[in-house]
Amino acid sequence: MTLKNALVSAAGNAAENAYIEDVFSTYLYTGNGGTQTITNGIDLAGEGGLVWAKNRAANTFGSEAHEWYDTVRGVGNAIFSDSTSAQSAFGSSRGVTAFSTSGFTVTNSSSLIGPNSNGITEVSWTFRKAEKFFDVVTYTGNGVAGRTVAHNLGSVPGCIIIKVVTSSSIGSSDWVVYHRSTGNSKWLALNLTRAEAAGTFWNNTDPTDTHFTLGINQDVNKGDGTTYVAYLFAHDAGGFGADGTENVISCGAFTTDGSGNATVNLGWEPQWVLMKISSSSGDDWKVLDNMRGLYAPSQNAALLKPNTAEQEYVGSFSCYPNATGFTIANTPLNTTYIYIAIRRGPMKVPESGTEVFAPFATRSSGVDQANPMFNAGWPVDLLIQGFRAGSTSAQMFMPRLTNNLLRSSTTGAETNGSTAYSFTGMLGVLSASGNDSSSADICGWNFRRAPGFFDVVAYTGTGAVQNVAHNLGVAPELLIVKSRSLNGQEWPVQVLGDGTKILKLNSTSAFITNSAYWNDTGATESVFTVTGSGLTGSSGATYIAYLFASCPGVSKVGTYTGTGTTNQIDCGFSGGARYVLIKRTDSTGDWYVWDSARGIVAGNDPYLLLNSTAAEVTSTDYVDTYSAGFEISSTAPAGINASGGSYIYLAIA
């Protein structure tokens, strides 16, 4: 079903629809050593669920454990996935001490221990109880083979993780893992590095959509009053999205080839992956997410290991997300892995521009994760930074997916972006220096990926015609591509699905008719087509693509004809445009950018050029306010409003 049709079918029951952003969150924060409220938008108080938290860096006491808290066992009760010990009852003195309708509270009375260590960067993964996604149950063992435990997952579990909570007779116990790919006669241990092993933990019985079955091993079913907690993860069960049929979680397996590579097709891009080699011993469990660093090809992922207390590190492990799944590279040859993968969000179509776009024109002092340099109020997927005073560096494109920089007025390859900015802030983009109080000589345009509005795709060229998948959900109307790895390559732009022509973001040139870039094929709601050209698909070269579409009340990609007089452009907005990009297409013309942070007013309006290193122009009045979009003044030059001239624009409310 197309995104448009799904929206129509869901119009009558929007309140019943579930989306991944309602049930899962990766949230980064810095501990304060006291009490801190984490607002991640997940309803734990009303629906229940799990908070899994980990120190990313070592503190005074060294690296800290992976701590798991859930609403069934109650606040302050922690179990540790890198330990065999039973539950620790901290009460209100430490750990997760409250669950709310929008997140949770962490407390550390000792200030240096646990998931709120003073000054230490932390990560939390929150799983809300929801049918066809995740469930938590507790039970008491009875020591009888064939014991069944009911659950409310609403589908057959793809993975079950069980841990002893309290026991009078079990001194230590493993974290027992059932995974659909290893079957009901084998098990793994989340706290160990060993391979899958035979065992009677599951009584050789598959779980169902209402219960799972246990043997008599003490780690899952001892008959002396021992209590257990079980975490259940769904597999390809549907139930989500605008039409209620989309998958958001997958539990599967893959085997690497003779070069140690493998590609997994999920049908969607993951934001979180837990994986482990199941066919041999000695491999740690690995947890990866796109907030800490799950990058496009050529960069290695940021890892944490659930079976150890080690701090986060970036090693040689390569895991690359794409629009339909992920690829791992340079790993052990001919080896089988199991995994749990969770879909990237948001899945909801935005309803206002402020949900997905934020312009800024000043710098903040005292930058930290709560007060980022560019504070959008949500995680940023693309920062375009403008140099207001002009710079040989030109305007910079920096996507979360690569964490590297490309400059829109140049043809150079990408450079390391982490030396300038970091995407590890939850509410915007951080200065890499941690404190940036320079004068306001820059501006920023922050974009969030969302269906129907904007998407980012990284891909590798094949040297031939190829279709590149995307998750925009509709056909992109403005498609911008740039080689990441090749020097000397321009920025081809496809407009309104016309695959016979290109514009160039780094150039003033008009439309050029040429089949060498898009193979005369316009982008669709699921793919765009490129050739083996160096601009779009040279063999082995890496590329980044930015896809924009018209989203009702949020954004508009369109065309207009110049009048030489006052020209009102109706974008269907109710409060005017906060961002306007204009380019002439029938003749030469610059790529002009205005935004509300620098001023779209009845007087002079500063503009920058994406294709130029020139300083901002502040002495002109070319674009004015207009409630339905924007207004072009009669004084505007030919590059914006020549009588009979043809133009394209991107406007965001």
Q: What is the pLDDT of residues 492-530, one digit of tens each?
A: 999 999 999 999 999 999 999 999 999 999 999 999 999
**Burial (CB count <10 Å: 0-12, 13-18, 19+), residue 132:** buried
Q: Using the predicted structure, report yes or no on whether residue 240 has a pLDDT greater than 90.
A: yes
Which residue, among 598, 546, 600, has the nearest Cα to 573 in the 3D structure? 600
In the chain, what percentage of residues exceed pLDDT 70?
Answer: 93
Interstrand relation of 157-166 and 134-140 (parallel, antiparallel or unpaired): unpaired
Sequence-distant (6+) residues with CB within 8 A of 190 are: 81, 161, 174, 175, 177, 285, 306, 307
The domain containing residue 538 runs over which residues?
A: 454-548
Cα 54 to Cα 82, 304, 601, distances in angstroms: 11, 9, 47
Give the model's confidence band at 417: pLDDT under 50 very low, under 70 low, under 90 confident, else very high. Answer: confident
Whole-angstrom Cα distance, residue 362 to residue 286?
39
What is the model's pLDDT at position 437? 44
508's tokens: 């003033």
Note the Cα 392 to chain centre separation in Å.
Answer: 31
- pLDDT, position 119: 87
Cα gap 178→71, rounded to integer Å:
22
SS (H, E, C) 305-338: CCCCCCCCEECCCEEEEECCEEEEECCCCCCEEE
Domain co-membership, 544 together with 570: no
5 inside domain: no
Structure tokens at 140: 């008491």
Domain match, 470 and 559 both: no
Quickly list H helices, 403-530: none
Residue 365 banded pLDDT, cuts 50, 70, 90: low
* 427 lies in the same domain as 491: no
CA atoms within 13 A on the CB side of 323: 23
Distance CA 193, CA 237 (A): 29
> Using an 8 Å Cβ cutoff, are 214 and 147 in contact?
yes
- Judge whether residue 439 has pLDDT over 50: no
645 occurs within a structural domain:
yes
- Amino acid letter, 301: A
3-state SS string over 92-142?
CCEEEEEEECCEEEEEECCCCCCCCCCCCEEEEEEEECECCCEEEEEEECC
What are 450's strand-pairing partners? 454
Residue with tokens 């938008």: 41
243-299, pLDDT tens digit by residue? 999 999 999 999 999 999 999 999 999 999 999 999 999 999 999 999 999 998 878
- Within this chain, do residues 418 and 471 fall inside the same structural domain, yes or no? no
- 489 and 440 fall within a common domain: no
Residue 348 lies in a domain: no
> Do 70 and 163 share a domain, yes or no?
no
Are 460 and 369 members of one domain? Answer: no
Mean pLDDT across the chain: 93
Query: What pLDDT does residue 434 have?
Result: 53
Domain finish residue from 112, 128, 144: 128
Q: Does the structure show a pLDDT above 70 at 16?
A: no
* Per-residue pLDDT at 11 exceeds 70: no
Residues 42 and 75 in one domain: yes
Instruction: State residue 433's pLDDT score.
Output: 60
Give the confidence band of 7 by pLDDT, cuts at 50, 70, 90. Answer: very low
Is 622 contained in some domain?
yes
Residues 23 and 102 in one domain: yes
Give dist(CA 200, CA 517) in Å, integer.
58
Give percent above pLDDT 90 in the chain: 82
What's phi and psi for 429, nearest 5 deg?
A: -115, 130
Q: Which amino acid is at 580?
A: V
Q: What does the pLDDT average to over 126-142?
A: 98
**CA 308, CA 285: separation in Å to the nearest integer?**
9
In a domain, 193, yes or no: yes
- Quick check: is 119 in a domain? yes
- Top pLDDT among 421 and 451 is at 451
Q: Are residues 540 and 564 in the same domain?
A: no
Tokens 């765009």 appear where? 528
Burial (CB count within 10 angstroms: exposed 0-12, middle 13-18, buried 19+), residue 464: exposed
Model confidence, pTM: 0.95
Whether the predicted pLDDT of 13 surpasses 70: no
Taking residue 223's Cβ as centre, other Cβ atoms within 10 Å add up to 13
Residue 473 confidence (pLDDT) above 50: yes
Predicted local confidence at residue 173, as pLDDT: 95
**307 CA to centre of own chain:** 25
What's the confidence (pLDDT) of residue 341? 98
Structure tokens at 362: 């000043």
Do 432 and 459 fall within a single domain?
no
Among 67-71, 74-78, 87-91, 315-319, the range scoring the smallest mean pLDDT is 315-319
Q: How far is CA 641 from CA 80, 606, 645, in A?
A: 64, 17, 7
**Secondary structure of residue 444 in the 3-state scheme:** strand
Pair of tokens at residue 13: 């029951």
SS3 assignment, position 553: coil
pLDDT tens column, 165-179: 998 788 789 999 999
Domain boundary pick from 234, 258, 279: 234
- Name the 3-class secondary structure at 5: helix
- The H or E element that residue 152 is part of is none
Considering 343, 370, 392, which residue would you say is the last residue of a domain?
343
Mean pLDDT within 79-104: 95
Sheet holding 374-375, edge to edge: 374-375, 428-431, 421-422
Per the DSSP assignment, residues forming a β-bridge with 581 are 593, 650
Task: Please give the pLDDT value at position 147.
Answer: 97
Domain for residue 8, yes or no? no
d(CA 167, CA 506): 67
Does position 6 have pLDDT exceeding 50, yes or no? Answer: no
Which two tokens mark 243?
Answer: 């039409």
Residue listed under structure tokens 């998750």:
471
Predicted pLDDT at 317: 87
* Residue 651, strand partner residues: 556, 580
Would the pLDDT of 482 be above 90?
A: yes
The pLDDT of residue 634 is 95
Q: Are 136 and 230 a contacting pair, CB within 8 Å?
A: yes
Residue 7 lies in a domain: no
Does residue 214 share a domain with residue 153? yes
CA–CA distance, 2 with 89 (Å, rounded to integer): 49
Q: How far apart are CA 121 and CA 311, in angstroms?
A: 10
* Total tally of structural domains belonging to the chain: 6
pLDDT score for 378: 95
CB 27 within 8 A of CB 102: no
Distance CA 69, CA 96 (A): 7
Decide: 327 and 264 in contact? Cβ < 8 Å.
yes
Task: Specify the amino acid at residue 6.
Answer: A
What are φ and ψ of residue 648, in 5° steps? -120, 155
Classify 200 in phi/psi space as left (phi over 0), alpha (psi -120 to 50) or beta.
Answer: alpha
Q: How far is residue 232's CA from residue 153's CA, in Å, rounded to a whole number?
A: 7
Confidence of residue 316 (pLDDT cuts 50, 70, 90): confident
Burial class (CB in 10 A: 0-12, 13-18, 19+), 621: middle
